[in-house]
Structure 1
């Protein structure tokens, strides 16, 4: 029986290899993703003087709105590419402290139907579209079983505050071919994240699932490009200079490279999305003063500001987050442009290859994505 044509579509899932065959990487696409990964590594290793910016919605729930956002971000990427290396934040899974919507992969219809097969298919399709437009992709690596479906499309990954102590996530990060950031715990503890960086840098062997969906022993070499992310804690933020210096001291004491990324959202802004702006500007000021251990920042941004309660899809406002509140696109763009001007006389100019614009999938335009086989397409896309 085909994994795409079960009577119970909610239970039977395609293997990672089957979905990768539906949305394969061309030679050009592989080259772009590898180049993006290498540029991030070069920034972390101080071979590239640009800053990493990870910008995008808190979570993905409406692909059309995210396609529109991506089209605007694509233009911005090209405008500021000599100072910033921008990735789109594409979070298709959401960790929950208690309960709630678990993200697009798990519940793509936003109705509790948990059509994971459709969620996996649509997620890979969307990531394929973004990468084909030469937009580097960043995401949180939450569900270990999901990662093999999308790992070849990612340029950067994150282990979140609720999973930074997980041995399984640390082992997974050790085998990934792209840089991975570890966020400090929700209580503000940075030691847990630094320990995650240490563990993920070492080789491991463990039981896992291969791309065919079969259990096997997996051996990984360790990931030398892991790093710390400061995202604030329940009781205090950690984006200020004193907190950053404290983190750098702890990294040095642990024998790790003095480098980190700062998340301007979450507990650093106290979930008050407008505070991301002064936090971002304060970090730009620190970088301008010579604190180059700050390798980049993260921002939560959508087409329109704020957030909304998750309800029936027909009742949702277009381009507004259904999870954490976000900055609107206009302010995001203005903020990055201002920072770009501020840093023009601070950061050395970076000569970098800018890819020509690619055909976009955007409100009414057709995607040039490859097609699955007829049976696979019908099963994956039909309700």
Structure 2
């Protein structure tokens, strides 16, 4: 995604662009490493205090978190949230806390501007670390296996959609299944037995090497976002898409988002092809041209597919609905008597009577029903009703020499539930 320094717009970039416009010449902005570090933004300087209340049986009953957030000399990044703390209130994580309290104090310091997101969106990574570290410590205090403690307090599948104690509505999830799959893949219980045997051998003086097993579980909040709670300096964070189908049956889609190498062009074409049956090779994706592109708020924070991708799907469905009316007119049936099949509308019960999207596209410009406006194009502005909440389980196994500090990662297992995988090859 567009994490880190890539999200912000810095003075040098603006000056270079303006200089090029004024002079009519190409202008290149060059800076060395030190200049980049001192003039762009940083992240992560958060000091977090986490308290968990739990019963002796291991059931969590409350959470209290305080964060001291270093924002540097000033806020250089326009966070996509009405709150300067970003999405810190996802700190309850994957657990069913009945009550929770979060306070964040932002401070200015004499260093580079702060506030950007590295490796995840807008404070999600910081608070995921906070709650997972706290869950480990609480499990240790209770004398429980950290996995068992987590499983006991997971939000259950039947609780979704789930309203967190800090106000977010998690749409879906199956945390128990995800954790069980990670445990089975790593043979977790056997690893714990091996770890115990290694500790006993260490106490007997038979080895100077110990074994560490780390387990964590996360729930992110991404896909910004709903205008009801996400904005950049008052600008709503929805996205839009425009699809025009030509008389030849080929199409052009203009997007408000911009790919940075994630393969958006392939994904957008695939969505259109799936929705209305035009081959992906016959679809032109245009993005990055602010003179012609529709409204969009950019590529970062895992928002492109949930927001821009949804916009392009909805624009495709608008075209599909009009195409169905044209096909009904051409076949002299009611539109409810038609069904869509891959790349054509056919009469229910009589598949031989059909019209392909290519035929419909030509008719859209030459033979539309009386009273219908010619053409086949649509624009969709998609303001998502909610954020998205991907989740996952991680297991890490390490061997550590206690005398030298030498360590080796023996195994690292990651399980991520990212929702519907539109193009698995791009994801992998």
TM (norm. structure 1) is: 0.23
TM (norm. structure 2) is: 0.21
Q: Which has the larger radius of gyration?
A: 2
Bigger strand fraction:
2
